[in-house]
Structure 1
Amino acid sequence: MTKKTDTATFEETLAELESIVDEMENGDLPLNKALEKFERGIALSRQGQKSLETAEQKVQILLNEQGEETLQSLPESEQP
């Protein structure tokens, strides 16, 4: 289940990352395979973060076009 991170959607990236986490938590991987999965997971994590940042920028642009205020962080009690 290897996809290029630059062409995968956010949902595909997240699904692959979750799959890797499941495989690694199982603990049955040889060291070299676990390292490969870890490296892939890091790449997927970076791609997911980039996708989220891009989405946030687009939302900010749309808010600015509508004369809305900037994005605000959720109160700590509402954060996941």
Structure 2
Amino acid sequence: MIIYTGKGTILDDEYENRSVPTQVVLTPIKSLLDKGYCVADNFYTSPEFADILIHRKTDIYGTMRQNRKGVEKF
């Protein structure tokens, strides 16, 4: 578990080119990737996050908020 405390939060360097919300979720679940697990998320779900998980053989279940970066407006 990671408690996000702002700029001082220690996140995995592997994800430094990703958005901060994506880094915050990927860092603690890194050991679960590529093992066929399903991540359920109701706050951090984004197209970027979903794409990463799918490419890492990890399913995702969550609510996609319309105001998320990368979500097309309908």
Bigger relative contact order (CA 8 A; separation at least 6) = 1
The normalised TM-score by structure 1 is 0.25
**Larger C-alpha radius of gyration, 1 or 2?**
1
Q: Give the number of the structure whose residues are more often strand, by fraction.
A: 2
The normalised TM-score by structure 2 is 0.26
